[in-house]
Amino acid sequence: MNLYAIVLGLIVATLFGVSLSRLRSVRTRADYLVAGRTLPAVVLVFTLLSSWIGSGSLLGGAENAYRHGFAALWQGGGGWAGLLLIYFIAPRARKFAQFTIPDLLEARYNQAARVLGVVAVLFTYTAIASYQFIGGGDILHLIFPAVGAEAGRYILAGFVVVFTAIAGMASVAYMDVVIGTLTTVSMLIALPVLTHFAGGVSGVTAKLPATHFQAFGDLSGVQALELFLPTCLLMLGNQSMYQKFFSARSQKDAKQAVVGWIIGTVILETVIVSLAVVGSALFATGEVHEHPREILAYTALHGLSTYGPALQFLGALMMGAIFAKIISTANNYLFSPATNLVNDIFTRYIHRDASDGQVLLTSRLMVVLLGAWALWQSLHTESVLKKSLYAYTIYSAALTPVILAAFFWKRATAAGAVSCIALGTLTTVTWDLPFVSRIFPAWVAQRDAIIPALLVSVVALVIVSLLTPKPDDAKLRPFAEA
């Protein structure tokens, strides 16, 4: 157990060192918010991969795989589908080269779209950061049983706020290189080892229901779609992703990075689901059966630690990699809304002439405040999977349609965009309230919010846009094909 604590401590110290090493390079607003637009393709690959694969995959996706087998890949598959379209968006996003998604919304639509976009991002990204705190708290509790899971959330939140506030995007991006390498290598080695201990592929299949190895498993087609759509649409509109593209050294680097991102995401998410399935064969009962979101960390701790020093070290690396990945994802999703508050509210409406020093100080203060809000949410959340789908749905319904329309539908208007963002957000946050079940039949009201919210927002975007005047050519020019 001491080895796990030592490795975890070394990883945290390394991340802190990487973050401090980038501090001297942060002198201006652009340095802090978009790393001075200097990130090469190889750094972009790792930071994109780390910003996407966090507790949503490591806890929520793994919990899904523990319960339902490889059908959990419908959740990851949505992201893969989104990545194929992103290949064509990336160079256009780098050509636009601003700081945030609300920058894009105002340039293409109007100020109202910008402000509503900030609201949607704040709800979504602090929710995503909150369940990273849950995941980190779980790991700290597993390694240090005296540290309660809730206390662990406070500790994790402290790590994340400090790392994120130090050097901004430069800190986040270069930490992701270290974390992405560690995670990929440790999990690729652990999977065949754990499969062997479970009796090989034949042993795993013999211990689990046949549905665990079927395309839909025990899910219906609609349930699979409810996993697929939120991740696909979040991927397509993800502000953290666009912010990385804005940070790219060139349009070519942005496009090349997507190729590596596609390959890395498919491999790593498949490995995560496979590890959870093997873990469900090894630990079908006991503590982890009651808390299946912990299956990867639990398997690293109990599935490898009893087979000699070498495999115990591998288990410690895997546990540390999961912990670091959670920190990395929380960094990304805490930094991004802080950027919104500074770039889209503070320098836009409160202090237009703010110096670079004032912007940097305010940015760090926003990281602290948003970290506190995300921590509060984590203390009131039980299911990581449910929280992740809620967060994805807000963004998917409210922002992704208008972001895609900005690049691909010249007829989209400001009024249509505002209607889409407002109704998509409103539908999502009210869908689970009691009045919905009184208005709609049970087969509709019991569905996840993604399908009704997406239908409402897209219909509003199309109808209102067609009923209002076409946008000027000046609004369309920055979004033309690169």
Task: Give whichever of 205-214, 316-325, 357-366 has the largest mean pLDDT.
Answer: 205-214
* CB of 65 closer than 8 Å to CB of 296: no
pLDDT tier for residue 195 given thresholds of 50, 70 and 90 = very high
Question: Which residues, at least 6 apart from 323, have a Cβ–Cβ distance to it below 8 Å?
Answer: 8, 11, 136, 139, 140
Asked if the model's pLDDT at residue 99 lies above 70, the reply is no
Mean pLDDT, residues 418-438: 87
How confident is the model over 463-473, as pLDDT tens digits?
999 999 999 88
Higher pLDDT residue, 387 or 298? 298
Q: By mean pLDDT, which of 80-84, 167-171, 196-200, 377-381 is the weakest?
A: 167-171
* Whether the predicted pLDDT of 482 surpasses 60: no
358 has a pLDDT exceeding 60: yes
Q: Where do the DSSP E strands lie in 189-321?
A: none
Domains of the chain: 2-383 (1.20.1730.10)
Burial status of residue 439 (CB atoms within 10 A of its CB: 0-12, 13-18, 19 or more): exposed
Express as a percent the part of the chain with pLDDT over 90: 21
Given a cut of 80, whether residue 175 has pLDDT beyond it is no
pLDDT exceeds cutoff 60 at 98: no
Q: What does the pLDDT read at residue 423?
A: 94
Over residues 370-386, mean pLDDT: 84
Does 65 or 480 have the greater pLDDT score?
Answer: 65
Nearest alpha carbon to residue 129 among 342, 366, 313: 366
C-alpha of 148 from chain center:
25
- Residue 272: φ, ψ to 5°: -60, -50
Q: What is the CA angle 363-332-165, rounded to 5?
A: 35
| Residues linked to residue 290 through DSSP beta bridges, in sequence order | none
Distance CA 295, CA 288 (A): 6
**pLDDT tops 70 at residue 212:** yes
pLDDT tens profile 38-82:
667 677 777 777 667 776 788 888 889 999 999 999 988 888 888
Mean pLDDT of the chain: 82
Task: Decide: helix, strand or coil at residue 62.
Answer: helix
Mean pLDDT confidence for 226-250:
73
Kindly report the pTM of this predicted structure: 0.77
- When mean pLDDT is compared over 123-137, 199-213, 359-373, the highest value belongs to 199-213
More confident call, 250 vs 111: 111
For residue 70, what pLDDT is reported?
94
